[in-house]
Amino acid sequence: MKILDLKQIKKVLSSIDVIPAIEAGFVAYSRGKAVIPPVAEMLFDNPPGDVHIKYGYLLDDDYYVIKIASGFYDNPKLGLSSSNGMMLLFSKKTGEIKSILLDEGYLTNIRTAAAGAIAAKYLAPKYIECVGMVGAGIQGKLQLKYLKSVTNCRDIIVWGTNDKELKIYKKEMELIGYRIKTTKNIDEIERKCNLIITVTPSKKPLLRARNIGKGVHITAVGSDTPEKQELDSTILDKADIVVADSLKQCMERGEIFHAVKNNLISLDKPVELGNIIFGKNPGRTNEDQITVADLTGVAVQDIQICKAVYSEL
């Protein structure tokens, strides 16, 4: 049994490509070959916090994974990150624990960024003029890091509301080879970028439909609850293809949830990312299409990234 701390996990991650593992996870999920029971949760009032236990396994596999992820929102006052957690990998043949990954929530960030890269790989136009990043936090940085392997475009416009955060974003992302323009005006992203990624916790739509032109792909990453929303739902109506990481989950939360609830798209419009990867549904078929991917985060991503790290030990 191996126990890894965050430093050791980051070292392993630097030497592996998690994207194929997570693609395989989406495919297994969409083909009904993954067992993902309902999320278990605890909610706390004082101090405010929540704990989610996500768990499951692939049918054709030797392991099951249990992920514990917490958010305690007063932690920054104590100098601690609000998110924390771990992943546990067990033998599906004996129940023995094989590995404890004390990732403090980091692997969740990475599997989310990898899913963004996968969405871009299958849905973004071939020629990307400029990438728009709506949100300048940790996830906005990781998205660029993982996007590098699936696109050639290095020109980025990043939108944010905090000058200091934008300045840090620019500095850090230029160090890994991007040209970064910062903006506080979201119009700029809507008009100039044909690959847009939204990574905010916004509860009001940020991107409007009117400026979204032909040939744009949008990956919405931020909304993972029924309250959060980053896209004006009419964008999903306007889109030629709407993709969910999990149809089941996207009917309960995220951008698709809002669009269906407001009768702007029909229930049968969204298709599942795993089915696009697998070829059951087409992805982008021409350069003029508008496409939207709604990523709410599925436990199969956790299972796959945990196994990918474990397989390197």
The contact set with a copy of itself (CB under 8 A) reads 1, 3, 35, 37-38, 40-42, 44, 47, 49, 51, 53, 55-57, 64, 66, 68, 70-72, 75, 78, 80, 83-86, 88, 90, 92-97, 100, 102
* Closest CB to a copy of itself among residues 85, 160: 85
Is 11 tagged catalytic? no
Residues in the chain, overall count: 313
DSSP 148: T
83 vs 211, which CB is nearer to a copy of itself?
83
Tokens 């620019």 sit at which residue? Answer: 170
Contact 30, 273 (CB under 8 A): yes
Coil vs helix vs strand at 85: strand
Least distance in angstroms from the C-beta of 62 to a copy of itself: 11
Residue 109 — φ and ψ, nearest 5°? -60, -40
| Pairing mode, strands 63-72 and 83-91 | antiparallel
CA distance from start to end of the chain: 10
In whole angstroms, the minimum distance from the beta carbon of 71 to a copy of itself comes to 7
Q: How far is the CB of 153 from a copy of itself (least distance, A)?
A: 37
Query: Side chain identity at 285, as an amino acid letter?
Result: T
- Output the smallest distance, CB 28 to a copy of itself, in A: 16
Nearer to a copy of itself, 70 or 219 (CB): 70
Q: Which helix (H) or strand (E) holds 2?
A: strand 2-4
Q: Which is nearer to a copy of itself, 16 or 53 (CB)?
A: 53
**Helix, coil or strand: residue 241:** strand
Q: At what angle do helices 19-30 and 299-310 cross, to 10 degrees?
A: 140
Q: Which one, 32 or 177, has the nearer CB to a copy of itself? A: 32
The catalytically annotated residue of 2, 7, 54, 67 is 67
* Order of strands across the sheet that contains 195-198: 179-183, 155-159, 131-134, 195-198, 217-220, 291-294, 241-244, 271-272
Beta carbon of residue 22, minimum distance to a copy of itself (angstroms, whole number):
21
Judged by beta carbon, residue 90 or residue 310, the one nearer a copy of itself is: 90
- Cα distances (angstroms) measured from residue 189 to each of 38, 85, 132, 288: 37, 34, 5, 18
Write down the least CB distance from residue 289 to a copy of itself, Å. Answer: 40
Spatial separation of the C-alpha atoms in residues 267 and 280, rounded to whole Å? 18
Instruction: Show which residues are catalytic.
Output: 67
